Chain A
Amino acid sequence: MRVCAVVALLSVPLVAQVTSERIRNSDREAGNWLTYSGNYQGYRYSPLDQINTLNVARLKPVWMYQINDLNQFETTPLVVDGVLYISEPPSNATALDARTGRPLWAYRRTMQPDVHVCCGQVNRGLAISGDTLFLGTVDAHLVALDARTGHVRWDIVVADYKTGYSITVAPLVVKESVIVGISGGEYGIRGFLDAYDVETGKRNWRFWTVPGPGEPGHETWAGESWKTGSAATWVTGSYDPGLNLLYWGTGNPGPNYNGEPREGDNLYANSLLAIDPDTGKLRWHFQFTPHDLHDWDANHVPVLVDATVRGKARKLVAVANRNSFYYVLDRATGEFLLGKSYAQQTWAKELDDRGRPILLPGKSPSLEGAMVYPGLHGGTNWFSPSYSPQTDLFYVAAREEATSFYLGLPEYHAGSFFTAGGFRGIPGLEPSGAVRALELETGTKIWEFPLHSPPWTGLLSTAGGLVFGGTNEGHFFALDAKSGRPLWRFPTGGPLQANPISFLCDGRQLVATTAGHALLVFGE
Chain B
Amino acid sequence: MIHLQHCDTSEPICGFSDIRELTAAGPRKIRVALRYCLAQVFPTSQAPLTGDSPALQSRLNFRGSIDMRNLVILVLLSFQCTAQNQAAPDAGEKLFLAHCAVCHGPKGDGGKGTNLAQPRLPRAPDDEALARIITFGIPGTEMPLTRMTPQQLASVVAYVRSLGRVPGETLTGDAQRGAVLYRDKGNCPQCHAIHGRGGTLGPELTGIGARRNAAYLRESLTDPETSIPDSFSSYKKVTLIPDNFLQIRVVTEDGRRFTGARVNEDTFSIQIRETTGRIQSFLKEELRELHKDWGKSPMPSYRDVFSRTELEDVVAYLVSLRGDE
Contacts and interface: CB of A to CB of B under 8 A. Distances in A.
Contacts of B323: none
B29 A222 contact: yes
Nearest to B145: A422
A473 B99 CA distance: 29
Interface stretch (A20-28, A203-211, A413-421): A413-421
Interface string A352-374: 00000000000000111100000
A398 B231 CA distance: 21
Contacts of A401: 234
A375 B267 contact: no
A475 B265 CA distance: 12
Contacts, number: 115
Contact of B12 (A369, A411, A452): A411
Interface stretch (A8-16, A83-91, A327-335, A423-431): A423-431
A416 B150 contact: yes
B46 A367 contact: yes
A61 interface: no
B204 to A, nearest CB: 20
A495 B233 CA distance: 16
B98 A263 contact: no
A224 B29 contact: yes
A424 B50 contact: no
Nearest to A420: B149
A224 B112 CA distance: 43
A218 interface: no
Given A409-B36, A453-B232, A456-B237, A417 B266 contact: no
Contact of B267 (A376, A377, A413, A475): A475
Contact of B239 (A186, A411, A413, A472): A472
By secondary structure, the A interface counts as loop
B74 to A, nearest CB: 21
Contact of B15 (A409, A454, A471): A409
Among A369, A409, A424, A474, the one with the most B-chain Cβ atoms within 10 Å of its Cβ is: A409
Contacts of A411: 12, 15, 149, 151-152
Contacts of B99: 406, 422, 424
A104 B268 CA distance: 37
A367 B267 contact: no
Contacts of A263: 28
Interface string B1-43: 0000000000010010000000001101100100110000000
B273 interface: no
A453 B264 CA distance: 12
Nearest to A403: B234
A432 B221 CA distance: 31
A261 B29 contact: yes
A407 B28 contact: no
A260 B294 contact: no
A212 interface: no
Contacts of B97: 367
Nearest to A375: B234
Given A223-B25, A260-B35, A424-B102, A473 B147 contact: no
A260 B49 CA distance: 10
A130 interface: no
B265 A417 contact: no
B146 interface: yes
Interface string B266-308: 1110000000000000000000000000110000000000000
Interface in A270-305: none
A80 interface: no
A261 B238 CA distance: 34
A164 to B, nearest CB: 13
A410 interface: yes
A260 B238 CA distance: 33
Contact of B152 (A261, A367, A408, A475): A408
A456 B234 CA distance: 12
B267 A450 contact: yes
Interface string B219-238: 00000000010101111111
In the A-B complex, the 8 residue pairs with the closest CB atoms: A425-B233, A473-B266, A425-B234, A452-B267, A495-B238, A417-B147, A260-B32, A223-B29
Given A261-B15, A472-B239, 16 more contacts: A186-B147, A223-B28, A260-B35, A263-B28, A366-B50, A367-B50, A367-B97, A403-B234, A407-B98, A411-B152, A413-B149, A417-B148, A423-B234, A428-B295, A452-B267, A473-B265
Interface of A: 186, 222-224, 260-261, 263, 366-369, 375-377, 401, 403, 406-411, 413, 416-417, 419, 422-428, 430-431, 450-454, 456, 471-475, 477, 486, 489, 495
5 contacts: A222-B28, A367-B50, A425-B236, A428-B228, A430-B232
